[in-house]
A and B are shown apart, each in its own frame.
Chain A
Amino acid sequence: MFNYFERIIRIIYLEWKGSPCFIEKEHPNEETLVSFLEDKLPKLDRDLIQEHLLKCDICAEYLGTQLKIEAHLSKDVPLVLLERVRKMIDSDVKDNILEIFLMLKEKTLEIIQTSGDVLVGQELIPAPVLRSRQINEFKEEVSILKDLKEFRVLVKVENKGDKIFNLAVTIKDKQGRQIDKTLRITLIKDGIELESYVSDTGNIFFENILPDNYKVEVSQGSRILAVINLKVKA
């Protein structure tokens, strides 16, 4: 591929370049690499990436490969494989969501359905077991707990009467200790943020809420850590 002179220069060049770097935190992410390739970075950033590529064989190979690819989309993804990935995603999604469906009655609360465990006295009972024990009505308030992937969430719904309820959300680690994160907890209805608070204790209260379908998002920075789907009927 290379002529004689180029081969010699190549040996010298590779020696000049030296060992590849392995300090992961210094690697540009995929978005930056794409922006570099598409020449969309500000000059200063572009120069920094170029400098990095001259030192780092790993990133240079990522970009070099991208530039050599002749794209084609001729192959079909095997259906069995696609189904396997779909199942994996579905199961992951479920691990991040707490579903709660309640009926607000005059002075009580009825659990229609939940994916969490319900606190009865000192005992945590899964919803299907609760139904088999014919326990589904709670006086004034109900507490529901679920261990999600990163933490434990406890949701307390309190019936205030006059078809109004209060909602308390508590986030702790899986051992029940206060979580070492500044979390934002947001109450959303029809895609509109109604209330949003930051808490470093992991406790947030929403007061005087009317029955409807709500989503409560627990986030840190731009990351959504968990979602509580709360459906309350009266």
Chain B
Amino acid sequence: MDDLKFVQACVKGDKQSWNEFLSRYSRLIYNYIYSVLAVKGRSLTEEQIEDIFQEIFYSLIKDNYKKLSSYQGKNGCSLASWLRQVTINFTIDYLRKLKPMFSIDAEIEQGLSLKDVLKDLSKDAVEFLSDQDRRKTLRDCVDSLEPAEQYFMELFLNQGLSLEQIREYLKINRGAVDMRKSRIFQKLQDCFKVKGFRLDFLK
């Protein structure tokens, strides 16, 4: 039975299919909760992990299986891949509820404020970044990049993926990843220069 037909049998309330669902996917869901916690560097109590596990199943069946019915198997998306993403999203949402999201102005990363981040930088750099107009000009440089280059920056700078993880995802060799990164950073540096700013003195 293909994944979509299997899901449809579950949505119809077929008990045997649900037994199959639990035996095939409960381990995957349970372990992925732990995987997300490992990536996020968070630890929760066993009770909280059990809550997440139970709530994921509840989210699949509530409102007449609305969530589970949204699985359509389009573009060859397997049920296992879909459930992995459901588990990841749900666990991240759960963690967000425990701790509100950071805003860039207030807390830029792991509880560090912009002020804290700047503290490690040189006096020149702090002065440089404290000028709102200057920062606006620099943002225009980011805006001028190609979407694929901006997405690379998102993965590397915001999501914190290592170059090796980006290589695996993009399925290109490591040399190509390094080259892409230096090309993007060079583009930004050139753009800053054109706008009258040099960053290489900020050491």
Contact = CB atoms under 8 A, between A and B. Distances in A.
A85 B22 contact: yes
A9 B188 contact: yes
B135 A31 contact: no
Contact of A12 (B76, B138, B160): B138
A211 B57 CA distance: 37
Nearest to B83: A30
Nearest to A17: B158
Interface residues of B, number: 84
A185 to B, nearest CB: 14
B88 A67 contact: no
A107 B133 CA distance: 90
Contacts, number: 218
B35 A150 contact: no
Contact of A68 (B72, B108, B161): B161
Contacts of B103: 19
B48 interface: no
B154 to A, nearest CB: 6
A75 B50 CA distance: 13
Contacts of A150: 64
B75 A60 contact: no
A97 to B, nearest CB: 5
A66 B147 contact: no
A2 B109 CA distance: 13
Contacts of A223: 11, 64-66, 69
Interface of A: 1-2, 4-20, 29-31, 33-35, 37-38, 40-41, 47, 50-51, 53-54, 57, 60-78, 81-82, 84-86, 88-90, 92-93, 96-97, 149-150, 217, 222-225, 227
